[in-house]
Amino acid sequence: MSTLPTAPGSKGKNTALVLSVVFQSLYLLSLPVWYFVSMFSVMLFDAPGSETNWVILLFYYAIKSYPFIVLSAIVLTWIMYKKGSYKWTYLVNAIPILIMILCIGLMAVFGD
């Protein structure tokens, strides 16, 4: 069985394409869920003194910044893909995951 020849500089191109499409599809599917979470995030400040708590502020701003980070990551990923920087597409695709991990970690550590 012979393998098809690949063009020079296309190493990782197919992997980057598949991973980008899969991750970005999941990110786009998470945006409606984010909308409802964001709508109720103002209730984080119900308790007296919570507006000065750095953990709550960090969690609040992480929630509010999520759609902007997702859209920026999608655009940057395809720019990097077009330029042939396939390794950078993996890193840029991981940025929204880091925001999710930050939010989940803050809830797990500081949640009641």
CA 47 to chain centre: 29
Residue 41 lies in a domain: yes
**Band of residue 24 on the pLDDT scale cut at 50, 70, 90:** very high
pLDDT single digits (tens) 51-89: 888 888 988 998 899 999 999 999 999 999 999 989 999
Residue 5 lies in a domain: no
Number of domains within the chain = 1
Query: Rounded to an integer, what distance in angstroms lies between the CA atom of residue 112 and that of residue 92?
Result: 32
Query: Rounded to an integer, what distance in angstroms lies between the CA atom of residue 111 and that of residue 101?
Result: 14
Residue 70 lies in a domain: yes
Percent of the chain past pLDDT 70, that is, above it, reads: 89
Residue 43 lies in a domain: yes
Residue 59 lies in a domain: yes
Residue 30 lies in a domain: yes
Residue 2 lies in a domain: no
Residue 1 lies in a domain: no
Concatenated DSSP letters of 16-37? HHHHHHHHHHHHHHHHHHHHHH
Domain that holds residue 63: 14-110
Q: How many residues does the chain have?
A: 112
Query: Rounded to an integer, what distance in angstroms lies between the CA atom of residue 62 and that of residue 106?
Result: 10
